[in-house]
Amino acid sequence: MPTHTGGNRPQGRAGFARTELVIITATVSLLALLQAATLGALGPATGGAQCLANLRELTRAWQQYGLQEGQLPPNPGDGNTSPGRNWVPGVCGPRQGEEFNPEVLQDPGRSLLFPYLEPGDSAVFRCPADGRMGRYQGTDPALAGRMVPAARSYAMNAAVGTTTLNGIVFAPLDGPWLDNHHTHRRGQKWRTYARFDEIIDPAPANLAVLLGEDANSINDGSLGFGMETPEWIDWVSTRHSMSGGIAFADGHVGMHAWTDPRTVVRNGIVNRVRVPGSVDHAWLRDRISARIELDRPRILPPAPALGLNRMRLVWPAAGAPGHRLES
């Protein structure tokens, strides 16, 4: 290697001058501060990174179910009152029977995504920034009387999934709240999605599947949303510094920054509220459903591809009506 011989530095001198060390230390400190500022929104204080990891794991389970069953899991949005199974069971809102009962999420006969999760890991149903704590409501004697975190923080887009009758999956969802009046029926005006090949519009990379829901709003497993009028029916979570985690049908996840102060739940009140001109509602509207256009062809369904201990989805290649993205 060539030896440096130029400049004013005496030959044979090793190390750095004090001034150089000060400059290097200051530069490293500045870079650390910039990195902290960049990653702060996903740091331990807000739990953003773990929230996204949870959503990613849940979405993988959702995809695995769809690949194995040939249809998406039930998401009836009926208060989890009908007999049968659901993607997630229980009513986990404030002062509800399963708010602090994680066991209900571990019943494979009722919690259809649970068998596809890492063994015994029902913690992925809860966002770490969901600060609710309450007295344990399950049946484990070892936990009786103890304070535990809330069981679930996420809900599924009410336009995504199937519905059941006497425990048998039989039809796509109606998506009743899509017309803002709880009277919408499948095939009427707005798309609902029961199989992968029905995810045409929005495209897989733009269809929201799982979202963080505000702790005061969450109840059953479905997030109701109106396409006709800008209003909040169920309320999205803003717990990550005015941002919320969202998982999409192609498997990618992200934090979306909400900007309208009307998106924030005030004083725990989650009544339906109209929000004319809300950019937050408009942004989410484009990712919940779309108007039915009968001349739109279906895309090819995603093909299963072998991965590490699981399959992943591979959507049609670029240039086809869909997308090619790997979860």
Task: Locate the domains of the chain by residue range.
Answer: 48-314
pLDDT tens digits for range 242-254: 999 999 999 999 9
DSSP state for residue 73 in the 8-state scheme: P
Indicate if the pLDDT at residue 91 is higher than 90.
Answer: no
Mean pLDDT value across the chain:
82
Indicate if the pLDDT at residue 189 is higher than 50.
Answer: yes
Which positions ≥6 away from 171 have C-beta within 8 Å?
162, 163, 165, 186, 194
- How many Å from the N-terminal Cα to the C-terminal Cα in the chain? 46
Predicted local confidence at residue 163, as pLDDT: 87
Cα–Cα dist 51/246, whole Å: 9
Predicted local confidence at residue 246, as pLDDT: 98
Of 158, 151, 162, which is closest to residue 106 (Cα–Cα)? 151
pLDDT tens digits for range 254-290: 999 999 999 999 999 999 999 999 999 999 999 999 9
Predicted local confidence at residue 302, as pLDDT: 72
Residue 41 backbone dihedrals phi, psi, to 5 degrees: -65, -20
Predicted local confidence at residue 61, as pLDDT: 96
Residue 19 backbone dihedrals phi, psi, to 5 degrees: -60, -40
Indicate if the pLDDT at residue 78 is higher than 50.
Answer: yes
pLDDT tens digits for range 18-47: 565 445 545 544 444 444 343 344 444 458
Which positions ≥6 away from 227 have C-beta within 8 Å?
178, 179, 180, 190, 285, 288, 289
Predicted local confidence at residue 327, as pLDDT: 37
- β pairing state of 222-223 and 154-157: parallel
Predicted local confidence at residue 36, as pLDDT: 39
The Cβ of residue 307 has, within 10 Å, a number of other Cβ atoms equal to: 12
Mean per-residue pLDDT for 220-237? Answer: 97
Cα–Cα dist 300/297, whole Å: 9
Predicted local confidence at residue 2, as pLDDT: 43
DSSP tally for the chain: helices H, then strands E: 3, 13
Q: Taking the model in full, what pTM does it have?
A: 0.80
Indicate if the pLDDT at residue 211 is higher than 80.
Answer: yes
Of 172, 157, 165, which is closest to residue 213 (Cα–Cα)? 157
β partners of residue 134: 148
Q: Which residue has the tokens 């992200």?
A: 254
Query: Taking the alpha carbons of 176, 178, 184, 189 in that order, is the dihedral positive or negative?
Result: negative
Predicted local confidence at residue 164, as pLDDT: 78
Predicted local confidence at residue 192, as pLDDT: 96
Range list of H helices, the chain: 18-39, 48-69, 279-285
Predicted local confidence at residue 8, as pLDDT: 45
Indicate if the pLDDT at residue 172 is higher than 60.
Answer: yes
DSSP 241-290: TSEEEEEETTS-EEEEE---GGGS-BTTB---EE-TT-HHHHHHHTTT--
Q: Which residue has the tokens 């039989």?
A: 170
